[in-house]
Structure 1
Amino acid sequence: MSNGPAGHVARSTVRPNPETARAAGPGRMRTFLSTDDGVAVDSVYDQGQAVYEEGRPSGDTPVFVVAHGFTGDADRPHIRRVAGVLRRYGAVVTFSFRGHGASGGRSTVGDREVLDLAAAVRWARGLGHARVVTVGFSMGGSVVLRHAALHRDDDARTDAVVAVSAPARWYYRGTPLMRRLHWMVTRPEGRLVGRYGFRTRIHHREWDPVPMSPVEAVPRIAPTPLLIVHGDRDGYFPLDHPRMLAAAAGDHADLWLEPGMGHAENAAGEDLLARIGDWAVTRCG
């Protein structure tokens, strides 16, 4: 879905636009970040419930950077709910991927979205957070895996990775829901449904080159801690996807197969999100 280099690793410092950065409530800031390929990404910072020193986070305060699923955005109720639980464990950055919500550009369905996540991680570090945890759902899960593999030693690196309901491989059409999604992405009439029905603007170009798949990315993440979470009632990706990811990751990854859980943010209950917060605080310390 992209005409750019799929393995591109951006290294410039991303700063919020001072003309658009603004307070958006107590302990909250909102701005548009500019990615390395010039896309404006709508981003929200929630200070969280941790202790701050002189207006900046203490060295022990992690920040969770949340990467939503396809057709989501930073203002969706399920994203706000995820952020609300994770705020108990640290600050939270939420953002809308390109082509979603108020962000610019068009969705490449997981390819150049790595640049969006990198911009958000750099912003979080620029706000004073020394520990960053990326948490991705569905498409966002594939993005956090590829981002961690591509950004190992730069200012967009992450200290722990959580992938929830992520695919292991591209072009999967083995479930009815995935066949509908492929129709929406690949057909002109489907992209119209995406734009007007789901507020998601989808790029018409096919991937060229095809980006590294999640299962190819996972072995490159070590020794960064990795948590793979998947529901046994996921209607998009069956359990062979998380098992494939865990097998590729080896001993450095934890795999949670959640009984009765469906797909992504809407299916992630408060108890699961709290356990993810506990895991992250322990593993990235």
Structure 2
Amino acid sequence: MTSAAEGRFHMVDVSWLTSVPRRAVLRTDDGVRIEALHEPCTAGVTGTAADATAGRGAGTGAAAAVGTAIVVAHGFTGSVDRPALRRAAQVLRRHADVVTFSFRGHGRSGGRSTVGDREVLDLAAAVRWARELGHARVVTVGFSMGGSVVLRHAALERGADARTDAVAAVSAPARWYYRGTPSMRRVHWVITRPVGRLIGRYGLGTRIHHRDWDPVPLSPVEAVPLIAPTPLLIVHGDRDPYFPVDHPHSLLAAAPDGTAELWLEHGMGHAENAADDGLLDRLGAWLVRP
């Protein structure tokens, strides 16, 4: 199960940007239906939804350019409606419109999770939707598995309609198959064992594919050198129980000089559950800066 040879993807249920939250169903090139949610910025009138509404009156059939959208990629076993992701989205909405979605095999999306491989297609569909809605600038932030996905997406996707203008990876692994912590050994048990996948499906709400990767996708650390000149931010907690701090340091070391920065957060644990509002606010400010 690999995304390496995938072609274009298309979407359904795409329409005009509005000033209220709206849900949509996107479809990836391999036919998976992905649930997604667009929410407007809460920082007053910022030239986003208001400009889009003005564009509708032009009668051109094309959306107006309406500023930045932040596309958020959740971690393994997350979804668009999980409390941690909802909290992150609400903080990020202080800075820009936000698009959240559920990866395949998660929430109400179709398919089964490939744990970071074909999920690149899901993210690309969400980015394309944000651009179809008229956003002139689209940036991505991902947590844990979502962090590995945003890195690979930024490295591999160069099409004008699905590329990212900036990328932030929070609590992302640097390499595949890491089992160096008890937390990651438990994750691998869930992914690789039939009874683990049953627990994933009925206990964690995550449907996991039973097939191994073939071929193995580009690893996050291999992806990083390909991201430049797109701005890259790596964020990691020094108390992460899944991936120790050699992972973010490896990612930073793989970037060409001066093209990436690292925030090593004191006392922080793992991913969106551990990211406090202050960190999320700083992330939002970094993502929307010119």
TM-score by length of 2: 0.91
Q: Tell me if the contact between 1:6 and 1:212 (Cα under 8 Å) persists in the aligned partners.
A: no
SS of match in other structure, 1:190:
helix
In 2, distance between residues paired with 1:22 and 1:198?
34
Alignment match, 2:284: 277
In 2, distance between residues paired with 1:189 and 1:100?
18
Deviates more, 1:238-247 or 1:41-50: 41-50
SS of match in other structure, 1:79:
helix
In 2, distance between residues paired with 1:22 and 1:192?
40
What is the deviation of 1:17? 2.8
Instruction: List per-residue Cα deviations over 1:143-192 (Å, max 9, x = no partner).
Output: 00000011123311000000000000000000000000000000000000
Alignment match, 2:3: 6
SS of match in other structure, 1:157:
coil
Alignment match, 1:33: 26
Alignment match, 1:256: 263
Deviates more, 1:199-208 or 1:47-56: 47-56
SS of match in other structure, 2:221:
helix
Give aligned-pair identity as a percent.
Answer: 66
What is the deviation of 1:47? 1.6
What is the deviation of 1:54? 4.5
Instruction: Kindly indicate whether residue 39 of structure 2 is the aligned counterpart of residue 42 of structure 1.
Output: no
In 1, distance between residues paired with 2:187 and 2:94?
34
Instruction: Kindly indicate whether residue 242 of structure 2 is the aligned counterpart of residue 236 of structure 1.
Output: yes
Alignment match, 2:172: 166
Which consecutive residues of structure 2, in runs of 5 or more, have no partner in the other structure? 56-62
In 1, distance between residues paired with 2:38 and 2:12?
11
In 2, distance between residues paired with 1:263 and 1:161?
18
TM alignment of 1:183-262, pairs within 5 A: 183-250=189-256, 251-262=258-269
What is the deviation of 1:16? 2.7
In 2, distance between residues paired with 1:78 and 1:212?
28
In 2, distance between residues paired with 1:262 and 1:124?
30
Q: Tell me if the contact between 2:52 and 2:66 (Cα under 8 Å) persists in the aligned partners.
A: no
The AA in structure 2 aligned to 1:32 is: V
The AA in structure 2 aligned to 1:8 is: A
The AA in structure 2 aligned to 1:41 is: I
In 2, distance between residues paired with 1:172 and 1:160?
27
Q: Tell me if the contact between 2:101 and 2:126 (Cα under 8 Å) persists in the aligned partners.
A: yes
Which consecutive residues of structure 1, in runs of 5 or more, have no partner in the other structure? none
Q: Tell me if the contact between 1:9 and 1:150 (Cα under 8 Å) persists in the aligned partners.
A: no
Instruction: Kindly indicate whether residue 274 of structure 2 is the aligned counterpart of residue 267 of structure 1.
Output: yes
Superposition RMSD on alpha carbons, in Å? 1.8
In 1, distance between residues paired with 2:288 and 2:174?
26
Alignment match, 1:17: 13
Q: Tell me if the contact between 2:37 and 2:80 (Cα under 8 Å) persists in the aligned partners.
A: yes
In 2, distance between residues paired with 1:117 and 1:132?
12
In 2, distance between residues paired with 1:158 and 1:141?
14
The AA in structure 2 aligned to 1:11 is: R
Q: Tell me if the contact between 1:27 and 1:46 (Cα under 8 Å) persists in the aligned partners.
A: yes
SS of match in other structure, 2:203:
helix
Instruction: Kindly indicate whether residue 153 of structure 2 is the aligned counterpart of residue 156 of structure 1.
Output: no
What is the deviation of 1:11? 3.1
TM-score by length of 1: 0.93
In 1, distance between residues paired with 2:93 and 2:267?
25
SS of match in other structure, 2:84:
helix
The AA in structure 1 aligned to 2:282 is: R
Alignment match, 2:58: none
Instruction: List per-residue Cα deviations over 1:196-226 (Å, max 9, x = no partner).
Output: 0100000000000000000000000000000
